Amino acid sequence: MSTIQDKMFHELKSKEIFKQASDYAHQYLSEVFNRNVYPLTPDLEKLSVFDEQLPHESKLAEDVLKQLNDYGSPATTATLGARYFGFVTGSVVPVGLAAKNLATYWDQVSALNVLSPIASKLETVVEQWLVDLFELPEDTAAGFVSGTSTANLCGLAAARYRILQRNNWDINKKGLRNAPRIRVVTGAHAHSTVLKAIGILGLGHDNIEWVDVDDQGRIKVEDIPSLDENTILILQAGNVNSGAFDDFEHICRKARKSNAWIHIDGAFGLWAGAVEKLRHLTQGMKLATSWAVDGHKTLNTPYDCGITLCADKEALTAALHMSGSYIIESKERDGMFFTPEMSRRARIIELWAIMKYLGKKGIDEMVYGFHLRARQFASAISKVDGFIVENDVVFNQVIVRCENDDLTERVLFRIQEMRECWLGGSEWFGNKIMRVSICSWATTADDITSSVNSFKKAYQIESTVH
């Protein structure tokens, strides 16, 4: 055996470094809900300790972990906590974190059943759970990917395959050169990940037929052009700024008459379909052909966790198919046929654990709680001088601005610097805004109150200074 091999066998058998890492992790969890939401400047400056040449000699594992904990831990953003409202980034349901930790030791590859029977089984089970929870067509297939960026790509790839196949064109063999034209119709507020997928798939941004949106960011039903079977219509469950939902019921019924492919980008909003008091927002979504949704946003799974759902299973697998003489297919589920990746960690383990733990009632309660906290925030901040709420709060998003763009940006920067809560900025119909995304199970009414106070302090400072 080589020296390094002996060293690693010793570390596995002694388990000391795993205990060390576990102690660090438990310490982090005990502090994360009380720490600053964003790292302090001195802690960020200390990250320079990682600016080093790759060592020539092997180092002690305990020293590597100590450096990572001592300098890395303080420089993390407390997205696990209760007052992080940026980028629609969810916290983590504790059982999901524990399941991911267990799965890390299993280190399963979920490409084939023969590689991981447990991953194959859980993907089969959760696929059916999701179909039932969202009331989707019975034969809907699910692919478990890294996030909605990839989920959108999968759904649109399936759409591209099916439309060209209808035109006797095999995209996998012939490529796009001289291929029949595919129309893409979507709203003016389509998310950037949708545009990214359109670009990657060679459908072209310049070919998009844009449809105007209303004052909440919803696609205007009356402005949707005539559709046909060569059209991909892309709708939205949860506008990235306002949280608004397109009118799926009316739009999808119209689109289905034309045999258009309907894709719904529902990164965080699709979960409204699992909540009794919010289900009206997604009414009619089952009439679509494909859907994209994240687990790591609204469901609070660990990162990363995305899901592509497709009612046309054949189109999905044909669009993402790969083959090789070394691939051992199974009569059970082989997950690689539903995703672009073959090498893919078994993220299904923590997704299954969280859904099993929460159940339908727990999912309903947790997700509806985000809505209640968002309404609380909107109500409270609208009573504070200097702030304007720009949207109807239908889900978990609140758009806030001050009287002008300059003041809005300065107040936002001040809030970020104070680190009581953290949120990002965006633009809304030409105005600079502050975007509040509430999607942590840990956010309480008191957290909302303290965050509103942070807004108030920031405004008082900036309006006085300038």
> What are 422-438's pLDDT values in tens digits?
999 999 999 999 999 99
Which residue, among 287, 242, 289, 288, has the nearest Cα to 268 in the 3D structure? Answer: 242
Does residue 321 have a pLDDT over 90?
Answer: no
Q: Count the alpha carbons within 13 Å of 284 in the hemisphere toward its beta carbon.
A: 17
Structure tokens at 366: 């947790």
Rg of the chain in Å (alpha carbons): 24
Q: Does domain 99-354 have CATH number 3.40.640.10?
A: yes
For helices 117-134 and 348-381, give the axis angle rounded to 10 degrees: 40
Q: Quote the percentage of the chain above a pLDDT of 90.
A: 96
Residue 1 has pLDDT above 70, yes or no: no
The H helix count followed by the E strand count for the chain is 14, 11
Do the strands 231-236 and 261-265 form a parallel or antiparallel pair, or are they unpaired?
parallel
Contact between 84 and 77 (Cβ < 8 Å): yes
Using DSSP, state whether 84 is helix, strand or coil: strand
300-318 pLDDT per residue, tens: 999 999 999 999 999 999 9
What band does 466 get if pLDDT is binned at 50, 70 and 90? Answer: low
User: How far, in Å, are 157, 283, 298, 377 from residue 162 at the CA level?
Assistant: 9, 25, 30, 44
Domain boundaries, the chain: 3-78, 99-354
CA-CA distance, 323 to 326, in Å (whole number)?
A: 8
Q: What is the pLDDT of residues 437-461, one digit of tens each?
A: 999 999 999 999 999 999 999 999 9
Quick: pLDDT tens for 45-72.
Answer: 999 999 999 999 999 999 999 999 999 9
Q: Are 145 and 151 in contact (CB under 8 A)?
A: yes
The average pLDDT across 244-272 equals: 97
Query: In the predicted model, what is the mean pLDDT of residues 152-178?
Result: 97
**Three-point CA angle 231, 237, 243, nearest 5°:** 135
Which of 381, 385, 383, 384 is closest to 435 using CA atoms? 381
Q: Please report the beta strands in 127-248, taking only residues with DSSP state E, as ranges in sequence order.
A: 141-145, 183-187, 208-211, 231-236
Strands 424-428 vs 290-294: parallel, antiparallel or unpaired: unpaired
State the pTM of this model. 0.96
Name 234's Cβ contacts closer than 8 Å, sequence gap at least 6: 156, 184, 185, 186, 187, 190, 194, 263, 264, 265
The angle that helices 3-14 and 16-31 make with each other, rounded to 10 degrees, is: 60
pLDDT attached to residue 413 = 98
